[in-house]
Structure 1
Amino acid sequence: MSHADLYPPYGRMIFEWESGLGFPNEGSPPNHWNKGKPDDWTSWLNGVADLLGEILWPRWIPGQKWQGSATAIMHDLTLADFELLKSLRSVFDADAQLPGGALIAQRRLFRCEDEEDAKDPFRTAGDETVRLDMSVDVTLNKYLEAVLDDTRRSAFVKAYIDGLWNKSGNVDLELKPLMQRPRAYQMAFILNQEQFSNRQAKSALTPSMISGHCLEMCLGGVDGFYRAKAAAFPQAAIDALAQHTIDVGDRRVFGGVHYPSDNLSSWISSLLLCPNVCDDDEGAQWLWAAIETRSAVYARVRQAVEEGVWPYQRSFDLLREIGARKVVTVEQALDWAAARPLAAE
Structure 2
Amino acid sequence: MPAKEIRHMMNIDVIINEAQKLLSENSEWLERYNGYAENLLANLDVIKLNRSKFNEFPPLYFYISTSNAKNAKLKLLLDVRYRGQSVATLKVNKDIVTISTKKQDDKNLRYFNCNIQLNDIAWQETGASEFRKFFKNRTYSRNDNNKKNEEHNVENLLLSEFSKRNSKNKQITGIQPIKISGVRFGMPTPISASDHKELTYAKHSGGGIDIFSRTGKGHATYLTVIEVKDENNSKEPPKDALKQGIQYAVFIRELLRSNCGKDWYKIFGFTGGIPKHLTIRAVCAMPDDNPDKSFEKQTYLIGDDKVECHYIYFKYDGKQLTDFQTSL
TM-score norm. by structure 2 comes to 0.31
Q: Which has the higher helix share?
A: 1
* Structure of greater Rg: 2
TM-score norm. by structure 1 comes to 0.30
Q: Bigger relative contact order, structure 1 or 2, given CA contacts below 8 A and separation 6+?
A: 1
